[in-house]
């Protein structure tokens, strides 16, 4: 016997005491998308999942179940030890898999019989995803976005960080995407988040906001391979737009700090994708300079000759313009300005 819980009850804090969400799917499933802040204790690793799935398709469900039980039985002591340690920290341990069945149900039943306060998330990740699809548009309603615009390298992301530290509500779309939105957007960041994970992280950022005034950064509709949902993109377009400016020297230093971290290979790969836009001669020169460690020359040249002209035509009516040479100071100036907004 075991108990189940709806994600809505978790989301609305209708749960007694602390809790931990535990994703028992394979590591590759967890890496692609999961419920934010959950931890991964896989019942089957990627290769084991493939073996069981093949048996299910090529033989029969009974054979797959038997094979799965044999694999999992060998892992149970290790899983149990992990769960016991978590139970010392959290009152409620909430387990889920893809649909809340084949993997999570027997584990929760077993742990419950052993005295662990284990719960099964109703419907697993699939039902959670349906909840987010419905809840995210509702969460966005009523929000007035203050959207920060500015040329590449002016420090918009840093300003957002300090706005958050000062207690403002912030939606960092690039952090949610794990991508900065340009040809160089993934440099130094690793794998980009999936669309599902992107939307889940947006929801997490907005669900506990204190006000309906939310600061965010102006983005194209597409950030890497993910897309900003239409209702959020439209709300940003209808929001309050401010511009961040900075000296060319500061911009170059900002980009250097964010992108140059033993990332020569990634930088050169990104430059290759720019060949058709700025020509072989320029790209060959930039790659040569990178190999020589002349990163700032490349950064400045790309800004002046490519990025600034590219974005310069996007004229907007800004309700505030701020010079940013110190992000912490700029954030405080924006907060003082925002107090005058109705």
Q: pTM of this prediction?
A: 0.92
Q: If pLDDT is split at 50, 70 and 90, which confidence band does 181 have?
A: confident
**pLDDT at position 65:** 82
**pLDDT at position 139:** 96
Third-level CATH fold of 3-132: Oxidized Rhodanese; domain 1 (3.40.250)
Identify the H or E element spanning 322: strand 320-323
Using DSSP bridges, classify how beta strands 226-227 and 222-223 pair: parallel, antiparallel or unpaired: antiparallel
Q: Are 169 and 215 in contact (CB under 8 A)?
A: yes
Q: If pLDDT is split at 50, 70 and 90, which confidence band does 305 have?
A: confident
User: Is 141-338 a domain of CATH 3.40.50?
Assistant: yes
Mean pLDDT within 20-29: 96
**pLDDT at position 317:** 85
User: Over 80: is that where the pLDDT of 166 sits?
Assistant: yes
Q: Are 28 and 50 in contact (CB under 8 A)?
A: no
Residue extent(s) of CATH 3.40.50 domains in the chain: 141-338
**pLDDT at position 274:** 87
CA distances from 339 to 168, 334, 335, 342 (A): 11, 9, 6, 8
Q: If pLDDT is split at 50, 70 and 90, which confidence band does 315 have?
A: low
- Residue 97 appears among annotated catalytic residues: yes
Mean pLDDT within 63-90: 91
CA nearest neighbour of 44 among 58, 16, 22, 25: 25
CA distance linking residue 306 with residue 36, whole number of Å:
37
Residues of the chain above pLDDT 90, percent: 76
User: What angle is formed at CA 111 by the lines to CA 108 and CA 112, rounded to 5 degrees?
Assistant: 80
User: Over 50: is that where the pLDDT of 313 sits?
Assistant: no
Q: Coil, strand, or helix at residue 174?
A: helix
**pLDDT at position 208:** 87
Q: If pLDDT is split at 50, 70 and 90, which confidence band does 100 have?
A: low
Q: Are 145 and 231 in contact (CB under 8 A)?
A: no
User: Over 80: is that where the pLDDT of 323 sits?
Assistant: yes
CA distance linking residue 339 with residue 342, whole number of Å:
8
User: Over 70: is that where the pLDDT of 227 sits?
Assistant: yes
Residue extent(s) of CATH 3.40.250.10 domains in the chain: 3-132
Q: If pLDDT is split at 50, 70 and 90, which confidence band does 2 have?
A: low
User: Over 70: is that where the pLDDT of 198 sits?
Assistant: yes
Q: What is the DSSP letter of 140?
A: H
Tell me the per-residue pLDDT of 255-301, one tens digit each, with 9 for 90 and over: 999 999 889 999 999 899 889 888 999 999 999 999 999 999 999 99
Provide the β-strand partners of residue 237: none
Residues counted in the chain? 342
User: Over 90: is that where the pLDDT of 25 sits?
Assistant: yes
Tell me the per-residue pLDDT of 125-143, one tens digit each, with 9 for 90 and over: 999 999 999 999 999 999 9
> In this predicted structure, which of 45-54, 85-94, 326-335 has the lowest mean pLDDT?
45-54
Catalytic residue among 83, 97, 136, 214: 97
């Amino acid at each position: 016997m075991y108990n189940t819980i709806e994600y809505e009850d978790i989301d609305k804090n209708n749960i007694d005491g602390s809790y931990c969400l535990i994703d028992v799917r394979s590591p590759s499933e967890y890496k692609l998308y999961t419920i934010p802040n959950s931890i991964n204790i896989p019942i089957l690793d990627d290769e084991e999942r493939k073996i069981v799935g093949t048996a299910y398709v090529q033989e029969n469900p009974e054979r797959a179940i038997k094979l799965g039980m044999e694999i999992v039985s060998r892992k149970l002591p290790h899983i149990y030890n992990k769960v016991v340690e978590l139970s010392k920290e959290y009152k409620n341990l909430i387990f889920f898999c893809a649909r809340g069945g084949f993997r999570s149900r027997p584990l929760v039943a077993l742990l419950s019989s052993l005295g662990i306060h284990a719960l099964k998330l109703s419907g697993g990740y699939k039902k959670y995803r349906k909840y987010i699809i419905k809840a995210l548009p509702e969460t966005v309603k009523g929000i007035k976005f203050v959207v920060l615009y500015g040329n590449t390298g002016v420090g918009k992301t840093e300003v957002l960080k300090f706005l958050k530290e000062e207690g403002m509500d912030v939606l960092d779309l690039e952090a949610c995407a794990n991508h900065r939105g340009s040809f160089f957007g993934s440099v130094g960041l690793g794998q980009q988040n999936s669309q599902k994970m992107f939307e889940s992280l947006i929801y997490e950022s907005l669900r506990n906001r204190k006000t309906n005034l939310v600061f965010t950064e102006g983005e194209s509709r597409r950030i890497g391979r993910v897309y900003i949902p239409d209702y959020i993109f439209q709300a940003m377009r209808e929001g309050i737009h401010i511009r961040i400016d900075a000296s060319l020297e500061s911009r170059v230093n900002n980009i250097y700090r964010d992108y140059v971290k033993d990332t020569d290979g990634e930088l050169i790969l990104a430059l290759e994708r720019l060949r058709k836009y700025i020509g072989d001669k320029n790209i060959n020169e930039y790659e040569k300079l990178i190999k020589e460690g002349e990163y700032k020359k490349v950064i400045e040249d790309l800004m002046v000759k490519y990025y600034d002209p590219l974005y310069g035509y996007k004229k907007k009516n800004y309700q505030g313009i701020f010079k940013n040479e110190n992000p912490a100071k700029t954030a405080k100036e924006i907060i003082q300005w925002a107090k005058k907004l109705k």
